Chains A and B, each alone.
Chain A
Amino acid sequence: KAGVTQTPRYLIKTRGQQVTLSCSPISGHRSVSWYQQTPGQGLQFLFEYFSETQRNKGNFPGRFSGRQFSNSRSEMNVSTLELGDSALYLCASSREEVYNEQFFGPGTRLTVL
């Protein structure tokens, strides 16, 4: 079974630009979560989607948004990029069952110059 895939793996953008990241979950997984990983803050929850609906949102500004498609693939968008947005963005998918683990993708490394 193929794992979670994320594209692109690396991105370099400049301040003020916008970026779209993509995540393909494991087949059969309908829950997709996004996290921002930085050395100082660890993993910070961005949002979670299930069946095309955003169920949870973390404490990030409105510049961070996302969506999920009918095939469970998900995208996240960051507009008006700031230097502080430089991070590894992780996507994770899971089944909707008790005590189920999340399966993580390799991440997209975003660098904002």
Chain B
Amino acid sequence: AQRVTQPEKLLSVFKGAPVELKCNYSYSGSPELFWYVQYSRQRLQLLLRHISRESIKGFTADLNKGETSFHLKKPFAQEEDSAMYYCALRVTSGTYKYIFGTGTRLKVLA
């Protein structure tokens, strides 16, 4: 079965603390993984994709095929990072479809 699991609904950290938002996936094919973010009163938008191996707004995510994980990390959280974060898997076998996790709300406390 194709599935994306984000075990934490809410994650609260203090400003300056490290952040790790967990994402695990289940997919037998070659995964395309993404993190999307939704700031308050804004549209859902792409944060980063695993193929790029880039750091966006200080966030990085490494695909671990052995553990089927794609955790999102940032060494020092900022208040402006407070948002809803969704991990997404793009299924490419046959036809294209995105599967989203249920999301994790990150609250960065001052």
Contacts and interface: CB of A to CB of B under 8 A. Distances in A.
Interface of A: 3, 31, 33, 35, 40-45, 48, 50, 55-56, 90, 92, 96, 98-99, 101-107
Given A48-B97, A99-B90, 18 more contacts: A3-B43, A33-B98, A42-B101, A44-B100, A45-B97, A45-B98, A45-B99, A48-B96, A50-B96, A55-B96, A56-B95, A99-B32, A99-B49, A99-B52, A101-B46, A101-B49, A102-B98, A104-B43
Contacts of A41: 102
B34 interface: yes
Contacts of A107: 43
B44 A90 contact: yes
Interface of B: 6, 32, 34, 43-46, 49, 51-52, 86, 90, 92, 95-103
Contacts of B97: 33, 45, 48, 55-56
29 contacts: A3-B43, A31-B96, A35-B100, A42-B86, A42-B100, A43-B86, A43-B103, A45-B97, A45-B98, A45-B99, A45-B100, A48-B95, A48-B96, A50-B95, A55-B96, A56-B96, A90-B44, A92-B44, A92-B98, A98-B32, A99-B32, A99-B49, A99-B51, A99-B52, A101-B49, A102-B46, A102-B98, A103-B45, A104-B45
